Amino acid sequence: MTKPAAPVSATPPEGASAWVTIDLDAISDNVRELARRSPGAEVMAVVKADAYGHGLVPSARAAVAGGATWLAVAQLREALQLRAAGVSTPLLTWLYVPGVDFGAAIDADIDISVSAPWALDAVVSAARERGRTARIHVKVDTGLARNGALGQGWTDLVAALGPVVAEGAVEVIGVWSHFALADAPQHPTVLAQRERFVEAAAELRRAGIRPPLKHLANSAATLTNPDAHFDVVRPGLAVYGLSPVPDLGAPHDFGLREAMRVTARLALVKQAPAGQGVSYGHVYTTPHDTVLGLVPVGYADGIPRHAGNVGPVRVGDRRLTVAGRVCMDQFVLDLGAEYAGGAGDEVVILGRGVDDEPTAQDWASAIDTINYEIVTRMSDRLPRVFVGGDA
């Protein structure tokens, strides 16, 4: 069902020390798979945070090519970038503070999430100024206690909607919410949040407001909880081929495949004696005469500093571990006394889980974080190379 991975280190930028390869076909195929798993629901692909580090515009286009009929980003700035690039797919944005330029959102046909009366007032003012109707999705806090209107706040927001909907200043396109423990599909909070969501939508209906779309499911709920699919599913992580529930399954168990690969080239290879302390702080010492390799990426590129002595990489057909501390621009590998290669050899930092290449999940497990953080932290100092799609 999924195509074999595209060739990856095919076209690194000339002389690049390290680069990130993005398989756009993987993104399209992942969206197709997510759509297949949520029949009856549209797919809103979440492309916030530079598409989780995969490159905003190419990733968004690949998601649309795979069947996403909606896109979503946290920040208005990201939404405007998509519009400026000519992406015209319906698009939702939700995180802002007072002073945000809702007029720009309305002008660019960007749907705005509203969680509070102040935001509704600001959207309404911007819409009136333009003589236009703003498209909004009202967000109910069903128990995450993050964004969204909670308890009486929801009742107040619903009450405030009536007149401005009647006036034509806003059109309520969606009602939506977000889970706290979607990765534990049987958890009582998941049931409770779903129930509260249905109730909140009914409260809207009783006020005469009938948004065509209800959406609740992130990646984990899309993959594990059909009861939460409603009209639109809203996956992010899974679009990029990563598992939001690593304890329940690896990406391929869900028909997904990783879109990101991170590769570097050794900058230096040299002999070192036994007992040599390596990198800042000498927290690694060579156990015997060996060959050290210098990898020209560091925490400024997004390699976690916490990965010192634990981060997994692959060189040739061997798994190795970062030797000593990760520095700002570089880290060191103990390649072993028999190493016959030299400067320029490739090091796979993040692979696709095939051929025992380290995955984002392996990095996450090594430093006690989540795969989300591993991919999103890859900085734009690493050039993106796009393969597949119409790249």
Helix and strand numbers (H, E) in the chain are 11, 19
Interface with ligand PLP, residue 244, by CB under 6 A: yes
Instruction: Point out which span in 230-238, 267-275, 292-300, 333-341 binds ligand PLP (CB under 6 A).
Output: 230-238
Interface with ligand PLP, residue 178, by CB under 6 A: yes
Contact of 257 with 301, CB cutoff 8 Å:
no
Q: Out of 12, 90, 235, 302, which residue is the one contacting ligand PLP (CB under 6 A)? A: 235
Which residues lie across from 92 on neighbouring strands?
Answer: 72, 111
Active-site choice (3, 48, 270, 299): 48
Active-site choice (96, 240, 270, 280): 280
Element (H, E) at 214: strand 213-217
Shortest Cβ 149–ligand PLP spacing (Å)? 14
Q: With CA atoms as reference, report the closest residue to 287 among 256, 315, 269, 309.
A: 309
Q: Out of 21, 93, 115, 218, which residue is the one contacting ligand PLP (CB under 6 A)? A: 218
d(CA 297, CA 263): 10
Interface with ligand PLP, residue 330, by CB under 6 A: no
Q: Out of 53, 90, 185, 236, which residue is the one contacting ligand PLP (CB under 6 A)? A: 236
Contact of 357 with 348, CB cutoff 8 Å:
yes
Interface with ligand PLP, residue 237, by CB under 6 A: yes
SS3 content of the chain, % helix, strand, coil (to 5): 35, 25, 45
Shortest Cβ 244–ligand PLP spacing (Å)? 5
Judge residue 84's burial from the number of C-beta atoms within 10 Å of its C-beta, 0-12 exposed, 13-18 middle, 19 or more buried: exposed
Shortest Cβ 130–ligand PLP spacing (Å)? 27
Interface with ligand PLP, residue 93, by CB under 6 A: no
Interface with ligand PLP, residue 46, by CB under 6 A: yes
Shortest Cβ 192–ligand PLP spacing (Å)? 18
Interface with ligand PLP, residue 251, by CB under 6 A: no
Q: With CA atoms as reference, report the closest residue to 147 among 63, 59, 72, 229.
A: 72
Q: Which is nearer to ligand PLP, 224 or 330 (CB)?
A: 224
Burial 7-23 (b: 16+ CB within 10 A, else e): ebeeebeeeebbbbbbb
Radius of gyration for the chain, computed over Cα atoms and rounded to the nearest angstrom: 24
Identify residues 47-66 at the interface with ligand PLP (CB under 6 A): 48
Interface with ligand PLP, residue 293, by CB under 6 A: no
Shortest Cβ 316–ligand PLP spacing (Å)? 33
Contact of 102 with 123, CB cutoff 8 Å:
yes
32, two tokens: 């197709």
Interface with ligand PLP, residue 219, by CB under 6 A: yes
Amino acid code (one letter) for 109: D
Q: Out of 61, 137, 234, 257, which residue is the one contacting ligand PLP (CB under 6 A)? A: 234
Instruction: Point out which span in 102-110, 157-165, 228-236, 266-274 binds ligand PLP (CB under 6 A).
Output: 228-236
The torsion of the CA quartet 328, 330, 331, 333, rounded to 10 degrees, works out to 180
Q: Which is nearer to ligand PLP, 48 or 384 (CB)?
A: 48
Interface with ligand PLP, residue 194, by CB under 6 A: no
Residue nearest to ligand PLP (CB): 236
280 carries an active-site annotation: yes
Alpha helices in the chain (DSSP H): 24-36, 48-53, 56-65, 76-84, 102-107, 117-130, 152-167, 188-206, 219-224, 360-367, 371-376
Instruction: Point out which span in 191-199, 231-239, 354-362, 381-389 binds ligand PLP (CB under 6 A).
Output: 231-239
Residues in contact with ligand PLP by the rule CB under 6 A:
46, 48, 178, 218-219, 234-237, 244
What residues are annotated to the active site?
48, 280
